[in-house]
Homo-oligomer: A and B are copies of this chain.
Amino acid sequence: MPPSETKASAERSFELERIVFFSDAVYAIALTLLAIELRVPELAQEDTAGLYRALLAEWPRFLAFALSFWIIALFWIAHHRYFRYIKRYDYRLITLNFLILFFIALIPFTSSVLGEYGDSAGGIWLYAVNMLLLGLSDAWLWRHAATRHHLVDAALAPDLIRALELRTLTTPLAALVVLTLSFLIGGLASFGWFSILIFRRVLERRDSTNF
C-alpha cells in the first residue's frame, strides 16, 4: 500500500493537487499552442481584399484549430470530473495520467497535420487515432481509479461511476465514426466529430449528473 493512501482525506492532499495542476498546465499549453499553426498570410501587395482571400484560403487550418480546441476542452472537462472524485493517488494513476498528457501533447502536431492534409484520408486517420488513444487512456485511468473504489471516495455512488465510465467512450466512439466515414466521404469525415455532441447529449439524458 503506497504511503500516499495514508494521506487520503476529505480535503485533498497537496500531492494530489500538484498532479492536477501539473496536468492543467499541459492542457492549457497544448490548447494555446494550437493557434501557432495559424499562419499570417504573406501577400505580394497589401490590400484588404487580398488579405481576406488569403485568410479564407486558410479555413482548413482554422477548422482544425477550432475542432482541436473544443476537443481538448472536452477532455479537460472529463479530467476535471474524474479528479473531483479521486481522493487518493498511487504510482499507476500518475503513469496513466502521463499517458493522457502524452496524447494531449501530441494534438498540436496531429491537429496541424489535419489542417494541412485534412482532405486526404491520411491526415484524418492520424488525428482520429490520436483521439482514439487519448480517449482510451482516459477510460483506463477512470477504470483504475474507480474500480472497487480504489482511489475514489468510498461513498461514491456506483451508478455515477458507471455513468462516467460510459462517458469516457464518447470520444473513442466518435473517432471510430470519423475513421469509418473517411472511407465513404473522404475529407468531409472530419464533420463526424460532431457526433461527440450527440453521444454526450444521449448520455446526459441517461444520467442526471450533467456535470
What residues make up the interface of A, taking CB atoms closer than 8 Å to B? 2-4, 11-12, 14-15, 17-22, 24-36, 38, 40, 43, 46-49, 51-52, 55, 66, 69-70, 73, 76-77, 80, 83-84, 90-91, 94, 98, 101-102, 105-106, 108-109, 112-113, 116-117, 119-123, 125-126, 209-211
A46's nearest neighbour on chain B, judged by CB, is: B120
- Chain B proximity of A182: nearest CB distance (Å): 10
A32 in contact with B30 (CB, 8 Å) = yes
How many protomers of this protein does the assembly include?
Answer: 4
- Chain B proximity of A77: nearest CB distance (Å): 6
Instruction: Known A69-B105, A109-B35; judge A211-B4 contact (CB<8 A).
Output: yes
6 additional A-B residue pairs with CB within 8 Å, beyond A21-B21, A31-B105, A40-B116: A3-B209, A11-B14, A18-B83, A36-B36, A47-B122, A48-B120
Instruction: Known A28-B22, A211-B91; judge A117-B51 contact (CB<8 A).
Output: yes
User: For the complex, what is the distance from the CA of A32 to the CA of B105, rounded to whole Å?
Assistant: 5
B17 in contact with A101 (CB, 8 Å) = no
A125's nearest neighbour on chain B, judged by CB, is: B48
A17 in contact with B14 (CB, 8 Å) = yes
A113 proximity list for chain B (CB < 8 A): 40, 51, 55
A122 proximity list for chain B (CB < 8 A): 47-49, 51-52, 55
